[in-house]
Each structure stands twice: as C-alpha cells, then as structure tokens.
C-alpha cells in the first residue's frame, strides 16, 4: 500500500500532538482492542548536544510507550515513511497464535519497504515490561525503539507480600505495578549504525566506544579527568582515552591481527567535548508510598548497571515475569533485558540521582537522570541534586563493601508452580564463537543478513531445508528443548535473546560443557544446575569467557507453533551472524491470514 506525502506530513503532525499528552494510562478493566499508529521517519536529533541522523517513531526516540492491559488485543499499525526497509519486533511478546506478528524479516514477514504500512496484531497474554524495536541491520540503534507495558490483570498472583506483610504496603505496590515509571537505557554513537558498521569493516576493529549514555532519550557527554579512570586500570587495561575507552590497539580487547588501529577515526575513540544538555526526570508521588521503576536496556553495545541514590531496589520482575523479590542497590542489565523494581518513597521530599554506567571493561562511562518526589510533570532538569549515598562512582565503581548487586541467576519465578519440566526430549549444543574480525556465530556458521530478503520461512517452512543446517533448529510441538550455549574463549558475555516463549536458565558454569546431556552433567556437577526454581526469562546472559570456555543451559517447552529466531542482542554480534532460526512445531502452524501472506508483495 502506497501512501501520499501529504498524508505522511499529516501523520507527523498528529504524532506531535500525541507526544505532548502524558503517557497513556490504561484505565478500563474491560479487555479491548488497543490501536497504536507508529510512523517511522528519518530525521535528526541531539539528545546529548550533538546532532546526528536518527530514525524517529512519531517524531521522537524512544518512540511512544505502548500500554495495554493483560488480555487486550493489540493492533499496531506501522507506517514506513523512511527510506529504509525494516520490520518491528515486539521483544519478549510470546505471540501466542500470531506467529506472523513477531517481526523478523525473512523469517516471519517480508520487509516493510518505504511507503508501506504493516499492521501487527497480537494478544497481550503476558503482563509486565517489554519493548519494541526495528529488526533489520542495526537500525534500532538509530532510534526505532520504545517500551511496552502490559498491566497485569487482577487474577494474577503478585509477589508483593514477600516485600511487606502490611496490607497497605501491598495494596500500594499493586497500584504502583499497574502504572510503573519506565526508565529506558541506551548508549549513543555519533555515527549512525551504517557508518559504524563501515568503520568496523574498514579497520577490522569493532567500534567499542560510545559517546554517551541516555536515560529516556536524554543525557550528556562527559570527559572526566584522567584520575577518574585510575581505579579501572589493570595490566590489560592500562590506558583510557578522554572519553573513557581503551585504545583501539589494545590486543586484549581487539584481538584480530588484521585489525588496523592506525586507521581508526579519532572521533570514535579519542575526541571528547563535554556538553550541558538536560537530564530526564522520573517523577514519583510520595503519597503513593511505593513506586515501580521499569528498567529496560535498549542499547546497541553495552550492558548497563543502574542505581538510585538513597533507595533500595526491590527487584520483583525480570523480562516481564514476576520473580521472588530481592532487595539490592545495583541492577546489571544486559541488552534487551528488563527488570522492574519497587522503591519505597520514604525519603525526604527531594530529588535523587539515578546513576547508570557501562558495565564492561572496554569503556568507563556513566549517565544520569533524576528521581523527583513531586507530582509535577517537569520533564527535564539542568543539574543533578547533591549525592546522597550513591551506590556507585562514575563508571560504576562500587563505593561501599555493603553495596549489593543483583545476581540474576538467583531469581526464582513467582508463583512457585512455574518450574521447568524434569526431563528434556532434545539436546542441542551450540558453539558461540568469533570466527573472523567481522564474523560472530551462534553455532558454527554465521547467519547471513541477506536472508532478510528471502520469502519468509513462516510462509514457506519447507525452504528451511535449503539453509545451512547449523543455523536452523527444528522440533515438534510438545518437545522439551535443552539448548546449551558454549562460549569460546576470548568472547565477552553474550546477551542472548529467544523470541516466542520464555525459557528457564537451568545451568551455568565455567569450562566446556563436557557431557552428552543435562542429566549426565547434573550427576557430576549438581551445583551448576537448578531444576527446582530457576529463573524464567527471554534473555540469557552467558558468562565472560576469557581463557576457558563457559556454558549456559536453557530448557523450554514448545507449546506455540512458530517460526522464529534466537540471537545475541549486541548489534555487532547479530549483524556479524550470531543468530539462528527456530522451527517450532511448524506442522501445527495456524492458518495464516491472507493479509499476512500478501503483505509486502
């Protein structure tokens, strides 16, 4: 379907009006169809003071929050008013009965090409925090992303009685959980994703250096004095550039002999000019006693950690799934993952600093926002309040031995009935590897980006047999899959993401996975496995593999016929090929509506 330019500019105007309204509060208790129009345009923005090209969603990035109530039907109409092809993926949404709305080009649909409109339809079977983003090349890093919040229905058991036994507290937390404050995290580069990729190809060095960290799309460039970096210096990280990056010739981090550090653009790793752009404000009402902060890492490169001055974070949800609450000071958030935390609003009425930091060796960098105990809706501030018990210094250094950081492997799903099956029917061992300066693999061979342009496998499942067998996994409905990811030494942690149904993370350890099955492994190393109450997630972060391999095991049930995707969520890695297709019970796929078989032709 082609749309006229006049219509497009009208849409842009409407988008701007919608923008000015407060985030849509879902107020009806009757399930309904909620419609959203997302229009993607090419534009410019300067959240950290440096103007660059961006793809905007209704004129902004992050795009508008999509809010609905569990049980609602969503109808999300995406208009491509940009010059590039893309699709939109709803990250963490299980797509029960709607495999055609998962948004992976070449897998579930054809590209939405410039001038086209594509309508995604899915049911909110889940509750909690999710997000949407472009799923082609590295485009989401240019701005096509936003949060999704699905308000839990009233029959869903909540874990708040494990935080407090006071009925008033529990009731305040239930209310907070229905209307959380989204805290969206991202890292920003001043080259767009296409240019970033070209620089990697030109120099054979991944561009592991960002310009700023943003919270809800706002932030600042910092060029801290060299002494700030002193606590981070180690034998393999001896020197930091003005913007806190390791040098591009550091062979511990940039290991490829064909890398050309001499060709690096100094604008990427070295040059730093600080800015004074405003910070985001996250407002809470102290009269509501508790607030829910909904953190999502929408970054392209870095794992990010977060803390809030003077406030314990009672983590109660991970990837939209309730887990038994844990009180911590810092949450580490791998890319793609979400955590929700209650905070008790028992501090003096004031502003408190929200701190974030890159949580990986190659870069020392922080970002900030303000938690404000005020009902007013001031969106930004120009300066931060005084530090009050900060949990971390610039760059994430922990300041106090009693500070606690969430260990996501210890999260236990709530309610307890959400335990994994005791046995599996299929075992797959995948080798996560870097096979050249430009290639990353999830299993032996890289997934080829050109597959984005083929007839979607959902419409032609038989074509899967023509693909490289190392990147296709097929199994029938009712299977219980054990998928073992073995990371090759020299790799950072990989934030893997499985589309469709979530999986239990049942095992993690250092060393190779040297057994033929989980059952055998558990006999020899029971302490590395948990079949009783392991976390139930759609994101799985492997351990760093420095000198020896590491492994991570997920188990999942196949209950929803789907053709879908599993991949690393670091942009360089997925575009470098770290992805595979999952053919899940394809002989039981529901009939595909003609709208979806024809869309994009």
Tell me the number of residues near ligand NAG by CB under 6 A. Answer: 21
Contacted by 568, from Cu ion, ligand NAG, none: CB < 5 to 8 Å by type = Cu ion
How would you list the strands of the sheet with 290-297, edge to edge? 218-219, 212-215, 181-188, 290-297, 338-344, 313-318, 321-328
Regarding 488 and contact with ligand NAG (CB under 6 A), the answer is yes
| DSSP code for 66 | E
State the DSSP string of 154-192. Answer: TTS--SGGGT---HHHHHHHHHHHHSPEEEEEEEE-SS-
Structure tokens at 215: 């919270």
Nearer to Cu ion, 124 or 491 (CB): 491
Beta carbons within 10 angstroms of residue 517's beta carbon: 15
Applying CB under 5 A, which of residues 301, 570, 575, 579 lies at the interface with Cu ion?
A: 570
Q: How far is CA 275 from each of CA 46, 47, 221, 265, 322, rounded to the nearest angstrom?
A: 11, 10, 5, 21, 39
Query: What sections of 40-165 are H helices per DSSP?
Result: none
Nearer to ligand NAG, 254 or 279 (CB): 254
Contacted by 111, from Cu ion, ligand NAG, none: CB < 5 to 8 Å by type = ligand NAG
Residue 109 near residue 103, CB atoms below 8 Å: yes
d(CA 500, CA 566): 9
Nearer to Cu ion, 138 or 533 (CB): 138
CB of 156 to ligand NAG, least distance (A): 4
d(CA 92, CA 331): 19
Regarding 376 and contact with ligand NAG (CB under 6 A), the answer is no
Q: How many alpha carbons lie under 13 Å from residue 582 in its C-beta half-sphere?
A: 28
CB of 577 to Cu ion, least distance (A): 10
Regarding 401 and contact with ligand NAG (CB under 6 A), the answer is yes
Q: Footprint of Cu ion on residues 145-204 (CB under 5 A)?
A: none
Structure tokens at 269: 């790793």
Q: Footprint of ligand NAG on residues 234-263 (CB under 6 A)?
A: 247, 249, 251
Strand partners, 371: 282, 352
Stretch that binds Cu ion, among 159-167, 448-456, 552-560, 565-573 (CB under 5 A): 565-573
Q: Where are the beta strands (DSSP E) in 465-520?
A: 472-475, 480-487, 495-498, 503-510
Applying CB under 5 A, which of residues 145, 494, 555, 567 lies at the interface with Cu ion?
A: 494
Nearer to Cu ion, 240 or 513 (CB): 513
Nearer to ligand NAG, 279 or 322 (CB): 322
Q: Footprint of ligand NAG on residues 96-115 (CB under 6 A)?
A: 110-111, 113
Regarding 503 and contact with ligand NAG (CB under 6 A), the answer is no
Regarding 378 and contact with ligand NAG (CB under 6 A), the answer is no
Binding mask 556-585 toward ligand NAG (x if CB under 6 A, else -) reads ------------------------------
**Pick from 381, 330, 336: which is nearest to 355 by CA?**
330
Contacted by 573, from Cu ion, ligand NAG, none: CB < 5 to 8 Å by type = Cu ion
Structure tokens at 355: 């701190």
Regarding 343 and contact with ligand NAG (CB under 6 A), the answer is no
CB of 473 to Cu ion, least distance (A): 18
Tokens 């992805």 — which residue? Answer: 579
Residue 329 near residue 404, CB atoms below 8 Å: yes
Stretch that binds Cu ion, among 193-201, 408-416, 494-502, 541-549 (CB under 5 A): 494-502
**Pick from 577, 554, 336, 584: which is nearest to 471 by CA?**
577
Regarding 568 and contact with Cu ion (CB under 5 A), the answer is yes
Beta carbons within 10 angstroms of residue 395's beta carbon: 20
Regarding 431 and contact with ligand NAG (CB under 6 A), the answer is yes
Stretch that binds Cu ion, among 8-16, 139-147, 368-376, 571-579 (CB under 5 A): 571-579
| DSSP code for 82 | S
Nearer to Cu ion, 309 or 360 (CB): 360
Nearer to ligand NAG, 215 or 308 (CB): 308
Nearer to ligand NAG, 90 or 279 (CB): 90
The residue sitting closest to ligand NAG, measured at its beta carbon, is: 71
**Pick from 534, 441, 540: which is nearest to 493 by CA?**
540
CB of 583 to ligand NAG, least distance (A): 22
User: What H or E segment, with its residue span, contains residue 88?
Assistant: strand 88-91
Contacted by 51, from Cu ion, ligand NAG, none: CB < 5 to 8 Å by type = none
Q: How many alpha carbons lie under 13 Å from residue 502 in its C-beta half-sphere?
A: 26
Q: How large is the C-alpha radius of gyration of the chain?
A: 23
CB of 67 to Cu ion, least distance (A): 31
Structure tokens at 377: 């809706």
Nearer to ligand NAG, 341 or 442 (CB): 442
Regarding 573 and contact with Cu ion (CB under 5 A), the answer is yes
CB of 402 to ligand NAG, least distance (A): 4
Structure tokens at 208: 């592991």
Stretch that binds ligand NAG, among 225-233, 338-346, 430-438, 582-590 (CB under 6 A): 430-438
**Secondary structure of residue 32 in the 3-state scheme:** coil
Regarding 438 and contact with Cu ion (CB under 5 A), the answer is no
**Pick from 264, 360, 341: which is nearest to 296 by CA?**
341
Residues that bind ligand NAG (CB under 6 A): 70-71, 84-85, 110-111, 113, 153, 155-156, 247, 249, 251, 400-402, 431, 433, 435, 453, 488
């Amino acid at each position: 379907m082609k749309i006229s330019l006049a219509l497009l500019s009208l849409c842009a105007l409407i988008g701007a009006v919608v923008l000015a309204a407060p985030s849509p509060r879902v107020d009806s208790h009757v399930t309904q169809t909620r419609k959203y129009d997302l229009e993607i345009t090419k534009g410019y923005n300067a959240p950290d003071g440096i103007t660059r090209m961006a793809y905007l969603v209704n004129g902004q990035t992050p795009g508008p929050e999509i809010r609905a109530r569990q049980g609602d039907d969503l109808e999300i109409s995406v208009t491509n008013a940009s010059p590039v092809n893309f699709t939109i993926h709803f990250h963490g949404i299980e797509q029960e009965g709607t495999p055609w709305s998962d948004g992976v080009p070449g897998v579930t649909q054809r590209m939405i090409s410039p001038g086209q409109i594509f309508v995604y339809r899915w049911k909110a079977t889940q509750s909690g925090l999710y997000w949407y983003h472009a799923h082609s090349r590295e485009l989401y890093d240019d701005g096509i992303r936003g949060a999704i919040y699905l308000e839990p229905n009233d029959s869903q058991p909540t874990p708040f009685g494990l935080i407090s036994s006071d009925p008033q507290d529990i009731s305040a937390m239930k209310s907070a959980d229905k209307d959380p404050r989204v805290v969206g995290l991202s890292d920003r580069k001043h080259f767009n994703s296409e240019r970033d990729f070209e620089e990697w190809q030109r120099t054979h060095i991944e561009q592991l250096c960002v310009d700023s960290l943003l919270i809800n799309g706002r932030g600042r460039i910092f060029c801290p004095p060299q002494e700030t970096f002193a606590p981070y210096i180690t034998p393999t990280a001896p020197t930091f550039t003005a913007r806190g990056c390791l040098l591009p010739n550091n062979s511990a981090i940039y290991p490829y002999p064909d890398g050309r550090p001499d060709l690096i653009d100094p604008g990427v790793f070295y040059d730093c000019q600080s800015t004074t752009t405003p910070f985001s404000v996250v407002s809470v009402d102290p009269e509501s006693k508790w607030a829910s902060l909904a953190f999502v890492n929408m970054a392209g490169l870095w794992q990010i950690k977060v803390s809030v001055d003077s406030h314990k974070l009672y983590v109660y949800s991970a990837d939209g799934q309730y887990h038994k609450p844990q009180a911590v000071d810092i949450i580490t958030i791998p890319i793609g993952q979400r955590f929700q935390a209650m905070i008790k609003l028992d501090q003096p009425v004031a502003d408190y600093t929200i701190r974030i930091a890159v949580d990986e060796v190659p870069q020392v960098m922080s970002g900030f926002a303000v938690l404000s105990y005020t009902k007013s809706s001031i969106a930004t501030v120009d300066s931060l309040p005084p530090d009050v018990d900060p949990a971390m210094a610039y760059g994430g250094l922990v300041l106090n031995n009693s500070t606690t950081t969430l260990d996501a492997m210890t999260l236990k799903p709530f309610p307890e009935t959400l335990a994994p099956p005791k046995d599996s029917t299929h075992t797959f061992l995948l080798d996560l590897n870097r096979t050249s300066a430009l290639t990353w693999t999830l299993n032996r061979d890289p997934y080829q980006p050109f597959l984005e342009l083929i007839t979607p496998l959902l419409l032609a499942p038989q074509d899967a047999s023509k693909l490289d067998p190392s990147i296709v996994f097929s199994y029938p409905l009712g299977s219980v899959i054990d998928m073992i990811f073995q990371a090759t030494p020299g790799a950072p942690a990989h934030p893997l993401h499985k589309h469709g149904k979530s999986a239990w993370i049942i095992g993690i350890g250092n060393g190779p996975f040297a057994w033929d099955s989980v059952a055998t492994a558990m006999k020899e190393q029971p302490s590395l496995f948990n079949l009783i109450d392991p976390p139930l997630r759609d994101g799985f972060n492997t351990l760093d593999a420095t000198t020896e391999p590491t492994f991570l095991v997920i188990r999942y049930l196949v209950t929803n016929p789907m053709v879908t995707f599993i991949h690393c969520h670091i942009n360089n890695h997925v575009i470098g090929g770290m992805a595979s297709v999952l053919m899940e019970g394809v002989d039981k796929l529901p009939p595909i509506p003609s709208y979806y078989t024809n869309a994009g032709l």
